[in-house]
Structure 1
Amino acid sequence: MTTSAEELLPATRRALVHRIATAQSEGRAPSLVAAVARDGALVWTGARTSVEGHGPDENVQYRIGSITKTFTAVLVVRLRDEGLLDLSDPLEKHLPGTGAGEVTIAELLAHTGGLAAETPGEWWERSCAEQRPTLAHVLGEQPFRHPVGRRHHYSNPGYTLLGSLVEKVRGVPWEEALRGEILEPLGLARTGAQPQAPHAGGWAVHPYADVLLPEPSEDLGLMAPAGQLWSTARDLAVFAAFLTRGDDRVLGADSVREMRAPSAPTLPGDWDAAYGLGMQLARRGGRTLAGHSGSLPGFVAGLWLSEEDGLVSVALANCTSGVPAATLAADLLGIVAQAEPRIPDPWRPLPEVDTAVLELVGPWYWGTQPTALRLTAGRGVELGPMAGGGRGSRFRDNGDGTWTGLDGYYAGELLRAVRRPDGTVSHLDLGSFVFTREPYEKDAPIPGGVDPEGWRGLP
């Protein structure tokens, strides 16, 4: 990621500075650093500090806590993409003997496996790894709190299992897989399991007095895949840009899009939040955000991306509480999106077109509901309502005259054009639904048939 030649406007930069200054002051953070990137380029960084020796910038490391889970999820999805496992596989198939083997890999990724939120015994974030030498110590004798697959219940032990799964399938430690498969390909040289100078120290701020207490920085051992990593605002902006558009060296665009899709029920009490595959999802200010928050004693972190705006934002602070880092990161993204809306790419005609596909575009009717099929780049198509709301999806070309839904109601469903013996198009078949050129076209094979007397007025 390089600095964009198109800098933010002075008023936008001042609004960003004001927001982080307010957050650092009101949250009483020893230091705070933030960054915003647009279309893959870092366009703004800012920092505030009040403690000598904690002067931050975008290259100073902070502990990022549960943002680590998104890195672990990428490693797991890579295994799926290589055909080494399926997300619907039960854990027992690849990592036997855990006592939680009935849970699927997808359920672990989405926190729907019913596992406990935390480990038994001591507060794991502030205790040494020797307290949890095996998975049995991480899970305990009763690892489940809810029926498997029934609800979203955030689970740190679940991501410990995923880290152990990576190690089992790859045959190398989690940290080694992380470095070789994500950090090095993406150039995240300032991200790792152990801090490297310059890095911030973690502090607790007394809730009722302006005094500090240093927090311990424990190695999490088996729990590392759930929250171990240290990183910088710059590195996390690069990582978020990858999560927006993919990188074939790590994961392709379709796979990161899958990670950003809801995989768990809406979170209890919040209709504007959900969870994907290792990613938190939220609706803020009318836009859809994907990313993750993080915290460990002494640190808070937030990372968000908005695909529609081409923006990512990061906020890091070295305090146990006080700064709502995820909210701050969302606010920074919103400031830029509202002050400097994304400039649409110029319209360009397609470089080539298949006439057999071109004849399919235009209006179609599902019963009496008017829809339109539109041709998109790369031989893809898009089906959606002619006007107003309704079902719609984008489709990927399968190369055999069919398309597979990428999103919306028809995600995963097969679209095909059904032709008559003379080669003309009869109708579209979409997951058994019949789309015709006219509402209830008389000669179309519509289940239940069409009344032979046709349309009529009231008798």
Structure 2
Amino acid sequence: MPLRPETARHVDALVADAQSAGHVPSLIIGVVRDGTLAHLATAGTQPHPDVDLQYRIGSITKTMTAVLVMQERDAGRLALDDPLRRHLPEAAAADAVTLRQLLGHAGGLQREPDGPWWERREGVDLSALLSGFTAAKVAHPPHRVWHYSNLAYGLLGGVLERITGTPWAQLAQERILEPLGLHRTTYAATEPFARGYVLHPWHHTLREEPRTDSRAMAPAGQLWSTVTDLARWAAFLADPDPAVLSPATLDEMCAPVILSDLDAWRGGYGLGIQLTRDGDRVHVGHGGSMPGYVATLAVHRPSRTGVVGFANSYGFRTGAIGPLGHRVLTHVLDVEPVPVRPWTPAEAPPPADLAPLTGRWWWMGTALDVSWDRATGELVGELRGDRISRYAREGPDRWRGVSGVEHGEVLTVRRDEAGRPVALDIATFVFTRTPDDEP
């Protein structure tokens, strides 16, 4: 669904103003709605932005590395609370650091490894990365503070390589890029691509930056992509393809591991996912930067709305593209109606054994309304009109909460001697058919 004309004009103006004020050679922002690229805003002429033009995505790469780790977890080949040394014995200096902490930047590791990899130099291989990993690289006790660490993601890439016997780049290609059709997301720049620059602060000339191979640090920020491909990745973060990652696992990734902003609680990190609170909304995604490039990805999952963007100047008011992306996303969410999926009636009533469970139940004068979701086969319980929980069948008269306040709790159906349901026992709270019934 395209944006309304007035919304599109406002987004275009935000992008044009940012390009002019920030002295950006090339700036592009895409708005994603319900899985499709709904609007494209561009500014600048070096080069002219285009949906198929590659830019470097920097640390947005980390979100894909995190998905690869979670795939291994779901397959039973690692646990998030495994110590790093279990998979990389050479990293014994980080004795107590776990994979979960590394994913959430809560492991206390310093930001960078040894060597000038960030300063426009080629990276090193995994053995060299590990040989430079000493106790001096542990800046804080695990989970004491949030401390962003590129090094953590280089090590996570090493974990993936050790477990699978496959290089990180090949894993990303086979497990994420190919299945999702991200054909213009590549390890190295592939024409057409935007050259990246540093802007001289006094005479406003451009110096082209080298396009380095970060090698063992590639899982932290190597990839190149386009607005079209990054929009598909934003759609995946809103509503994942189960063939790539379980929706429940992505939900887990978007839950906070640690707060990065203890003063206002506006920011935090999940499992490889940056979390930004904007009023009552939470945006998930990540920012990215490499010499000559900055990028942004922000998604509001409940509305399946997101923003992606690139600029090809590292001097673009360092960090400005992230706030620009969030401003665009907030404006779209404020003024555009959320796409509504049409309601359709059920084709048949619930199965005979479930129909008697629906309707109103009571506990201590509090009403619980139970309905049946034909699409999922789940019971849906609505308490006081605003607390909704869903239950999946585990066995005869036994259901398990799968979402809402009763997530993980057990609902047991109590029956009388004739087999009629007379009460619902939810985590020891017994609901009966009338307010006056005794449990």
TM-score (norm: length of structure 1): 0.85
After TM superposition, the structure 1 stretch with the greater mean CA deviation from structure 2, 143-152 or 308-317, is 143-152
2: CA distance, partners of 1:264 / 1:381: 33
Pair 1:74–1:393, CA change in 2 (3 A): same
Q: Percent identity?
A: 38
* Residues 142-186 of structure 1: CA deviation (Å, up to 9, x unaligned): 232222234432221111121111111111100001101111111
Aligned match of 2:109 in 115, 118, 129? Answer: 115
Residues 1:339 and 2:332 aligned together: no
Alpha carbons 2:54, 2:194 under 8 Å: kept: yes
2:29 alignment partner in structure 1:
34
Residues 1:242 and 2:242 aligned together: no
Alpha carbons 1:12, 1:339 under 8 Å: kept: yes
Name the amino acid aligned to 2:380: E
Q: What is the aligned-residue RMSD (CA, Å)?
A: 2.7
1: CA distance, partners of 2:109 / 2:363: 43
* Residues 405-458 of structure 1: CA deviation (Å, up to 9, x unaligned): 34444333333334455434354344x3414237986632xxxxxxxxxxxxxx
After TM superposition, the structure 1 stretch with the greater mean CA deviation from structure 2, 316-325 or 202-211, is 202-211
1: CA distance, partners of 2:345 / 2:90: 57
2: CA distance, partners of 1:434 / 1:69: 43
* Residues 304-336 of structure 1: CA deviation (Å, up to 9, x unaligned): 122222222101111113162222222222333
Name the amino acid aligned to 1:309: S
Gaps of 5+ in 1: 1-5, 445-459
Residues 1:437 and 2:432 aligned together: yes
Alpha carbons 2:26, 2:312 under 8 Å: kept: yes
Name the amino acid aligned to 1:382: V
Q: 1:191 Cα deviation (Å)?
A: 0.6
Pair 1:439–1:237, CA change in 2 (3 A): same
Pair 1:382–1:55, CA change in 2 (3 A): same
SS at match of 2:302: coil
* Residues 190-227 of structure 1: CA deviation (Å, up to 9, x unaligned): 11111111111221223455333333332112111011
Alpha carbons 1:280, 1:290 under 8 Å: kept: yes
SS at match of 1:129: coil
Aligned match of 2:157 in 163, 166, 169? Answer: 163
2: CA distance, partners of 1:328 / 1:71: 23
Query: How many pairs align?
Result: 434
Aligned match of 2:52 in 36, 59, 81? Answer: 59
1: CA distance, partners of 2:107 / 2:368: 39
Pair 1:383–1:266, CA change in 2 (3 A): farther
Gaps of 5+ in 2: none
Alpha carbons 2:237, 2:301 under 8 Å: kept: no
Name the amino acid aligned to 1:284: D
1:206 alignment partner in structure 2:
200
After TM superposition, the structure 1 stretch with the greater mean CA deviation from structure 2, 282-291 or 305-314, is 282-291
Name the amino acid aligned to 2:140: H
2: CA distance, partners of 1:279 / 1:422: 52
SS at match of 2:283: strand
Alpha carbons 1:364, 1:435 under 8 Å: kept: no
Pair 1:264–1:109, CA change in 2 (3 A): same
1:68 alignment partner in structure 2:
61
2: CA distance, partners of 1:385 / 1:290: 29
Q: 1:119 Cα deviation (Å)?
A: 2.3
